[in-house]
Chain A
Amino acid sequence: MLFNSLTFLVFLPAVFCIYWFVLHKNLLARNVFLLLASYVFYGWWDWRFLSLIAFSTLVDYYVARFIATSYSQKKRKLLLVVSLIVNLGLLGFFKYVNFFVDSWVDAFNGLGIAMNTSTLNIILPVGISFYTFQTLSYTIDVYRGNLQASRKLIDFATYVAFFPQLVAGPIERATNLLPQFGVLKKFNEQQAISGLHLILWGLFQKVVIADSCAPYVNSIFDNYESMNSLSLMLGAVYFAFQIYGDFAGYSNIAIGTARLLGFDLMRNFNYPYFSRDMAEFWRRWHISLSTWFRDYLYIPLGGSRGTTAMQLRNVFIIFIVSGFWHGANWTFVFWGFLHALFFIPVLLLNKNRSNLNQVAENAVLPSFKEIFQMLTTFVLACIAWVFFRAASFLEAVAYFKTMLAQPSFDVQYLGIQRYATEMLFIIAIFIALEWAHRTQEHPFVGRWKWFKIAAVILMLLTLGVYSDHQDFIYFQF
């Protein structure tokens, strides 16, 4: 079920009404209902894969219970390994088997050894990367002693399958979300209203920004050989806003939906394109994933401690694994590698924590230095996005070659109805709105709140994509 679909438009109010008006006295009934609603939400896409979620839930629930009751460190470690093998095994099978087989065959073919093998026809279950990481974090936290193992299977199953964030995050830690299922919530008007605001803003990001950019991006990337430098640069910029609008939009709708039901999810995006360096970018982009990798991979590897060589190794590992998490393609791996390259100068200069505050904190406009820093970071992100979007590594390289070989900056007709100038105008409005509210979660605050709400609704109605709505990009991950 998509957030920007009519089905969800019926589903959410129905869940809201039953949750608050019918089941307002019984916590267990509420949690059972949320679990069923979440399974319906997921099963709407493909009910067969519900068994995977249920299996993953049962394994981690019982493994965590055994870990919690076991006094033997060796046994605890063994149980953790079981959880890792099961979860990463499922993820590896559904997401990476074909990639490894193909890469293996390609490698041998490259050496002149002909190999013929067929790959399996495996469907990637929606959201598997997200809920796998969520359940893993629970088991690891229980193993580390940071969290008590849940004694209620329903609570835990609801935590794993909680529909607002099940298929594309935020990847919630059990320490934050799981205890919330243990409390009979009372309706909080401010929380629900802020949820409405986030849903509205998320919809705008998705159907106006991301889906408006999508036809341009597709047109440019599909025909990059015939495009000039300006179009190719615009293609990267449009994709930067497409993926941001798409993913941040989804996250905001997810957080907003959860708030309507009285749950607080972690923030996933914090205006990443206003970052002054790559370290800041990664503190603001897909926060739930980057903090997951930080806590469960980077720090265990030694983090920024140890020799320079170890620090560099850790940075490369975390970024390459992050790239690989996104998809089974060398383009994602190289995307991660590029981000590692962009991150390393900041790390080596010991400036990775120099921009912890908000940009232009007490000013309306940024300084020239800040503008330069933000533009540089954005350009670097766009360069990496080309690899992320391209169908193959060689296509991405060819994209840059075409851009640089014969510089030409004439405005090209892109074969779609809307004009580039109007699209850029929409993006400019979006940037201005985000800039003006960069210290807030969303723009619907202050004296002009209703004016902004009205303007966004008007833009949703006039500029949104509804007839041929696009899937959320991050569903594929």
Chain B
Amino acid sequence: MNKFLKYFVIICALTAVFWIGAGKIIDHGLIQLDKSRYQEWEAIAGGGINADVVILGSSRGVSGYNPQIIGEGLRKKTYNLSYDAGSFALQASKFDLYLENNKTPKIIIQNIDFTHFAANDTLIGENNMLPFRENDLFKTHFAGYENHIFEPWNLFSIKYTRNFRLIRKGLYGYFGVYDGHNLHDNGFVSKDEVFKKDQRNLVALKKTVKARKYAYLLRNVEIVKKSMVSYSIKSKVVVVWAPEYIERYALAPELHAIISEQFRTLASRYPNITFIDLSDHAMGKETVNFYDTFHLNSTGSTTFSTLLVPYLAP
């Protein structure tokens, strides 16, 4: 019986070692991937950014604000902390995580737009956080969202089982092989794509306007405003409505007026908050600046970021 038990223990031990070891290797490999989101999360949680200017937003923030141009214009270290497809709550959680170990920025640029105030409890892009599943900071800031990775049961499961994409990327990273996915530059993703109409987004906005479902939007506007006030205690806050594609802007002039008025009033009450409304800027009439009806492309983001610098300069 002894030999069998020894054999059994070795197999169990091997399983345990691989269970933990394989996860650690892939964690490490993913974090090693240069300019990947995994590496970004590591820097955000670990205090590896420490920017003077931080940009907050959703996907429009990710592709619209070029931190290199803004940083050079302001002569300040700038980082785009926008959360791709993230709700305003997720953007705030990401920023809260950032503040845990990074210095408080001097300037916070908060992008807003028509969809910024839609509530969404889902943890978007949770796979990007897999290497940090056991990290208490991530649990503190993100476990409250609808997710799969922070559920207690999942903490005992094998992290990357059957997730071929991550296993492959993790191994690439671990062995130093270049992997070209998910690249960003200081949080900014340059979209070098030509314009393609996105009907889905237009239809969604059209429905909101038609139903005049503004009440909940305004409730969320209040929440965002409170965040801005809270940020403005230690930083200068610049709320920016980046140029909207003309067709989209034309769909909701009334909604635009309501929201922009709220932030204009806010800016007038708090000296540390500025509101810059470029939503109907002329560049919104040119499809050359957009890759869809919602997002600026690389040409548009260069023009817009250059355009924004004088507004931000002290």
The answer to whether B162 and A465 have CB atoms under 8 Å apart is yes
A467–B32 Cα gap in the complex (Å)? 28
Q: Is A196 an interface residue (CB 8 A)?
A: yes
Task: Report whether A463 and B162 are in contact in the complex, using a CB–CB cutoff of 8 Å.
Answer: yes
Beyond A189-B3, A196-B7, whether A457 also contacts B162 by CB under 8 A is: no
Knowing A189-B1, A192-B4, A193-B3 are in contact, say whether A457-B161 is a contact too (CB < 8 A): no
* Interface 9-mer from A71-79, A315-323, A416-424: A416-424
Residues of B129-163 at the interface with A, using a CB-CB cut-off of 8 Å, are 157-158, 160-163
Contact A419 B164 (CB under 8 A): yes
Q: Please state if B158 and A200 are interface contacts (CB–CB under 8 Å).
A: no
A451-465: CB near B (< 8 Å → 1, else 0) gives 001100110111111
Q: How far is the CA of A461 from the CA of B23 in the complex (A)?
A: 10
Beta-carbon contact of A461 and B162 below 8 Å: no
From A463, which residue of chain B is reached at the shortest CB distance?
B162
Instruction: Determine the residue in chain A with the shortest Cβ distance to B21.
Output: A458
Complex Cα distance A200/B165, Å? 26
Q: Determine if A463 and B4 form an interchain contact, defined as CB atoms under 8 angstroms apart.
A: no
- Measured between beta carbons, the chain B residues less than 8 angstroms from A465 are 162
A263 at the interface (CB under 8 A from B): no
Contact A189 B14 (CB under 8 A): no
Q: How far is the CA of A212 from the CA of B162 in the complex (A)?
A: 9
A454 to B164, CA, bound (A): 19
A31 and B160 alpha carbons, distance in the complex (Å): 43
| B214 contacts the other chain (CB 8 A) | no
| Contact status of A462 and B158, CB under 8 A, knowing A417-B164, A419-B164, A457-B18 | yes
A20 within 8 A of B: yes
Are A466 and B157 in contact, CB atoms less than 8 angstroms apart? Answer: yes
A187 at the interface (CB under 8 A from B): yes
Q: Which residues of chain B have C-beta atoms less than 8 A from A418's C-beta? A: 162, 164
Decide if B4 touches A462 in the complex (CB within 8 Å): no
For the complex, give the distance between the alpha carbons of A465 and B163 in Å: 11
Most buried by A among B1, B3, B162, B164: B162
Quick one: CB contact mask for B12-45 with A, threshold 8 Å, 1 for yes?
A: 0011001100100000000000000000000000
CA distance A419 to B14 in the complex (A): 28
Q: Does B167 sit at the interface, judged by CB under 8 A?
A: yes
> Which of A212, A419, A466 has a CB less than 8 Å from the CB of B158?
A466
Closest to A13 in B: B8
Tell me the bound Cα distance from A189 to B5 in angstroms.
Answer: 9
Docked Cα-Cα span, A466 to B153, in Å, equals 13
B11 contacts the other chain (CB 8 A) = yes
A457 to B18, CA, bound (A): 8
Q: Name the A residues within 8 Å of B160 (CB-CB).
A: 462
CB distance from A347 to the nearest CB of B (A): 44
Whole-angstrom distance between the Cβ of A125 and the nearest chain B Cβ: 32
Within 8 Å by CB of B161, from A189, A453, A454, A461, lies A461
A461 near B15: Cβ-Cβ < 8 Å: yes
Contacting A457 at CB < 8 Å: which of B1, B3, B14, B157?
B14
In this complex, which of A193, A461, A466 has the most chain B Cβ atoms within 10 angstroms of its Cβ? A461
CB distance from A10 to the nearest CB of B (A): 14
A466, B159: Cα distance in complex, Å: 12
A166 CB, nearest partner CB in chain B, Å: 24
> Which residues of chain A are near B22, meaning CB under 8 Å?
458, 461-462
Which residues in A have their C-beta under 8 angstroms from that of B11? 196, 200, 453, 457
How does the 8 Å CB contact mask read for A175-186 relative to B, with 1 for contact and 0 for none? 000000000000
**A453 B14 Cβ-Cβ under 8 A:** yes
| Chain A residue nearest to B163 in the complex (CB) | A417
Cβ contacts under 8 Å, B157 to chain A: 466-467
Q: Which residues of A contact B163 (CB under 8 A)?
A: 417
Interface string of B54-69 (1 = CB under 8 A from A): 0000000000000000
Query: Least Cβ distance of B149 to chain A in Å?
Result: 13
> Are B164 and A458 interface neighbours, CB within 8 A?
no
Q: Mark A428-464, 1 if CB is under 8 A from B, else 0.
A: 0000000000000000000000000110011011111
- B158 and A461 contacting across the interface, CB-CB below 8 Å: yes
Asked if A417 and B165 sit within 8 Å, CB to CB, the answer is yes
Minimum Cβ distance to chain A for residue B1 (Å)? 5
A418 CA to B166 CA, complexed, in Å: 11
Tell me, in angstroms, the Cα distance from A137 to B162 when the chains sit together.
Answer: 43
A384 nearest CB across to chain B (Å): 30
Q: Is the CB–CB distance between B162 and A464 below 8 Å?
A: yes
How far is B165's CA from A193's CA once the two chains are assembled, in angstroms?
Answer: 36
Contact of B15 with A464 in the complex, beta carbons under 8 Å: no
Q: Is the CB of B4 within 8 A of A189?
A: yes
List B residues 43-87 near A (Cβ within 8 Å).
Answer: none
6 sampled A-B residue pairs with Cβ under 8 A: A196-B8, A453-B14, A461-B15, A461-B22, A461-B158, A466-B161
7 smallest A-B Cβ distances: which pairs? A192-B4, A189-B3, A189-B4, A458-B18, A461-B158, A418-B164, A457-B15
Knowing that A187-B4, A200-B11, A466-B158 touch, tell me 18 more A-B residue pairs with CB under 8 angstroms.
A189-B3, A193-B7, A196-B4, A212-B162, A417-B164, A417-B165, A419-B164, A457-B15, A460-B15, A461-B15, A461-B161, A462-B22, A462-B158, A462-B161, A462-B162, A463-B162, A464-B161, A464-B162
